Chains A and B, each alone.
Chain A
């Protein structure tokens, strides 16, 4: 059970920083609260008393969503459901809707935020690898001498390990910015133990852009989670595939590349098997959605993995 003395709802960044300062060392930041309440229960943290809970979900800076031609800016308090009910967002970030539809359920998506998911940094987090594939950057803010000071870093560097990020004690995650990729095909592969409310064992986000004939890979982004302490951008595989013709031979070679990265604490062999299959499935799905020339992908490959 979670108890507190104060539940504070700041209406601005300044107000939030004031509250954080006056409750230094005895507060916890809450966005959607969908992770915090289940955490304070028997079998996990048990009964927890936090003197001040600071709910940042209503701060305007954390709620804005803007979709530009090249960049998308998402407030940290953007609920997961936006990727399913905002068609502009879905169009600009092709892998995110597929990630969102696998995330928990409708009720939780309405409340859970991308910021909360990122800062929680669960090794099983799905949202983080998907945003990483969209070249996400986090914007962090803190109060320095009465002024709001911001800094940015890449999301895959922001997450430093299981349940650990580079967020300083006096900092807030304000927004995530990533590439708008409307011409890309997106895919998101995930496996757990059932088909809803699924905690993932392995998940892979794929984004692919093909040339106008749908035969050559102009750009590819891949990010994977569940194989180690933090999500990983598969840069070596991207470098290998970029510029190549879309072909079964190259895809098969690419699929074998990340398996050596699997360093999870448990179920290593299973994850290795799944990673290889997901690479093929994810790339094929993304290629199809990117407008691949149907004759290019060998039908046996598609049949074997799609």
Chain B
């Protein structure tokens, strides 16, 4: 395909270069000009991390074919702090604590800059609307709004610029102070490089061939055509694993690439390293895999039935882990209760959706140390496992954590670093893999979906006398953190309450679904949804205010937990008291009294979003004379 001659002024610099006709402005800016501040968080115009100014208008550069930007003036995030000094807005982000993982931040700073350029007096609701095209997964947006309001006030003169400085701290007493985050300047300026922004000389591009079947035997893999392709330097399958294959957080049941069979759609089967992304794609298409589909199971209850397809030989009942908690005698407890209520609660699979899709580089250094650079939440454990898998001493395996653009548990599994290591070893060159958003979603861990049957027995005075919970979780095709999630969920399930009779069983089950794994709060979110909803249901029947029923049952200092551990100081009552006061909660049984209560609509909530905060107001039709 013939190149386009692309001309533009980018960050004040006149550019005239050949570009491929299918390149997007984002690709050109990042790959050809090394301006990696703006990111490809999704490639489909949904997340805003690619936002740049084109002739002064903010646009999503992942949606802009390069020809559309021909002869335009472009500003990327690097233009904002070109001289090295952060703009007022960037300083405001620093002061307000608006940057966490930082991956959405360059795009967010661009959107905020656009907002204040459009309306230097924009109020908070208008600011929110103008940031509506930028997703953040870490901050909850609140401090981002605070930052934009702060910048607005400094820029329009309502506040002095000194409000952006670091607070004074007396006596070197730095604990308990809002010291500005030390990593924010690198993040708001876009100068911090994440793995997908890093390049190494002679680097090869890697992509992964993934299973289209949920459960199938691999009859054969023929990589010969791919290997023979010009520009392809290495093709790997499970046959390339020199050591003991198998990794996992609790059980090493997952191979680096599928071995013998595939267990979920999206499982890695092979990987290719080649000179360019287009060559890699062609090579992947040339790998011939012959699958023999096997009966698959997608529902945990079905997976538990005798005769169900077995995912792992070591677990013929498809139970990854079962954790029991037993205190007292629940059957007796229910018999002694005045009120018994049972309900079933279900939660869905959830995607971590960190804005940074997985990415990593690997190389073998001058001392033969196999080195992986990736946004890895657990480099310690991964080094252990990889050393065994590639049959090298630990001192010859090195994991370097690159800046992490969001984790939440989703970057805890070693699902691609093994392939990078093998390709680095096979090609003896640096290799880099960058996941697409779609690849990240279909192939990496999810929050465990759950079905919980909860039964509570209470005395008339509100004391919980017996609690029985059975939670079944779909663990998907591999173990990942299922054992830990089942354990934590079981320990915390009954809530911070003194209950004399408890029976809890949590089950993680293998199915041919996307694997479930670590996700912030590790099963406690699922059980709390059940327990805390249930408490309100029971409170309604007993005529008790929700705070009251929790106080009646609350653990206090020295309480003994459901695992029979004795606690020290317990701050639950303090927290409840502080919360009740701060929220101005009006007491009353939860009988659906929303239309009667008087603690609503205070000034510490936001207004409902109605859209249109910044309307160009059409004039009203004139009244007749």
A38/B44 in contact, CB under 8 A: yes
Residue A43 is within 8 A (CB to CB) of chain B in the complex: yes
B133/A7 in contact, CB under 8 A: no
The interface-forming segment of A94-102, A131-139, A235-243, A267-275 is: A94-102
**Residue in B611, B615, B621, B624 whose CB lies within 8 Å of A185:** B621
A33/B68 in contact, CB under 8 A: yes
Residue B60 is within 8 A (CB to CB) of chain A in the complex: yes
Within 8 A of A (CB), among B273-291: 278, 281
A22 → chain B, closest Cβ, in Å?
15
**Residue in B22, B43, B281, B616 whose CB lies within 8 Å of A85:** B616
A-side contacts of B22, CB under 8 Å: 1-4, 7
Whether A105 touches B24, Cβ cut-off 8 Å, given contacts A33-B65, A37-B45, is no
A298 → chain B, closest Cβ, in Å?
20
Classify chain B: how many residues form its interface, as a range.
35 or more
CA A252 – CA B606 in complex, angstroms? 32
Classify chain A: how many residues form its interface, as a range.
35 or more
B-side contacts of A9, CB under 8 Å: 67, 70
A106/B132 in contact, CB under 8 A: yes
A87 → chain B, closest Cβ, in Å?
5
Residue B48 is within 8 A (CB to CB) of chain A in the complex: yes
Residue of B nearest to A84 (CB): B616
B623/A108 in contact, CB under 8 A: no
Residue A42 is within 8 A (CB to CB) of chain B in the complex: yes
A7/B24 in contact, CB under 8 A: no
CA A172 – CA B281 in complex, angstroms? 34
Residue A182 is within 8 A (CB to CB) of chain B in the complex: yes
Whether A91 touches B618, Cβ cut-off 8 Å, given contacts A7-B67, A30-B65, is yes
A55/B611 in contact, CB under 8 A: no
A-side contacts of B132, CB under 8 Å: 105-106, 195-197
**Contact flags B595-625 to A (C-beta < 8 A → 1, else 0):** 0000000000000010110111011110110
A36 → chain B, closest Cβ, in Å?
9
Residue A111 is within 8 A (CB to CB) of chain B in the complex: yes
Within 8 A of A (CB), among B1-56: 1-2, 4, 21-22, 24, 43-46, 48, 51
A212 → chain B, closest Cβ, in Å?
3
CA A90 – CA B614 in complex, angstroms? 13
B-side contacts of A2, CB under 8 Å: 22
Residue B439 is within 8 A (CB to CB) of chain A in the complex: yes
A106/B618 in contact, CB under 8 A: no
B6 → chain A, closest Cβ, in Å?
11
A41/B44 in contact, CB under 8 A: yes
CA A95 – CA B21 in complex, angstroms? 38
CA A84 – CA B617 in complex, angstroms? 9
Residue of A nearest to B437 (CB): A41
B133/A106 in contact, CB under 8 A: yes
Whether A55 touches B624, Cβ cut-off 8 Å, given contacts A87-B616, A107-B48, is no
The prevalent SS among residues of B at the interface is loop
B-side contacts of A33, CB under 8 Å: 63-65, 68
Residue B436 is within 8 A (CB to CB) of chain A in the complex: yes
CA A47 – CA B43 in complex, angstroms? 13
B377 → chain A, closest Cβ, in Å?
25
A122 → chain B, closest Cβ, in Å?
15
B620/A97 in contact, CB under 8 A: no
CA A37 – CA B619 in complex, angstroms? 38
Whether A47 touches B281, Cβ cut-off 8 Å, given contacts A4-B21, A41-B436, A289-B620, is yes
Most chain A CB within 10 A, of B43, B45, B66, B611, is at: B45
**Residue in A5, A43, A47, A197 whose CB lies within 8 Å of B133:** A197
Residue of A nearest to B62 (CB): A37
B439/A212 in contact, CB under 8 A: no
Residue B438 is within 8 A (CB to CB) of chain A in the complex: yes
Residue of A nearest to B50 (CB): A107
CA A67 – CA B208 in complex, angstroms? 54
Residue A164 is within 8 A (CB to CB) of chain B in the complex: no
Residue B225 is within 8 A (CB to CB) of chain A in the complex: no
B-side contacts of A86, CB under 8 Å: 616
B45/A38 in contact, CB under 8 A: yes
CA A91 – CA B622 in complex, angstroms? 13
B-side contacts of A106, CB under 8 Å: 58, 111, 114, 129-130, 132-133
**Contact flags A174-212 to B (C-beta < 8 A → 1, else 0):** 000000001111100000000111000000000000001
B287 → chain A, closest Cβ, in Å?
15
A-side contacts of B21, CB under 8 Å: 4-7, 53
A107/B64 in contact, CB under 8 A: no
A212/B623 in contact, CB under 8 A: yes
Residue A110 is within 8 A (CB to CB) of chain B in the complex: yes
Residue A290 is within 8 A (CB to CB) of chain B in the complex: yes
A-side contacts of B576, CB under 8 Å: none
A105/B48 in contact, CB under 8 A: yes
Pull 10 A–B residue pairs with CB atoms less than 8 Å apart, ordered by A: A2-B22, A7-B22, A37-B45, A38-B43, A84-B616, A101-B612, A104-B133, A107-B45, A108-B60, A212-B624
| A-B pairs, 6 with minimum CB distance | A105-B133, A196-B132, A212-B624, A38-B44, A7-B21, A42-B438
A interface residues with partner B (beta carbon < 8 Å): 1-7, 9, 30, 32-34, 37-38, 41-43, 47, 53, 55, 57, 84-87, 90-91, 94, 97-98, 101-102, 104-108, 110-111, 182-186, 195-197, 212, 289-291
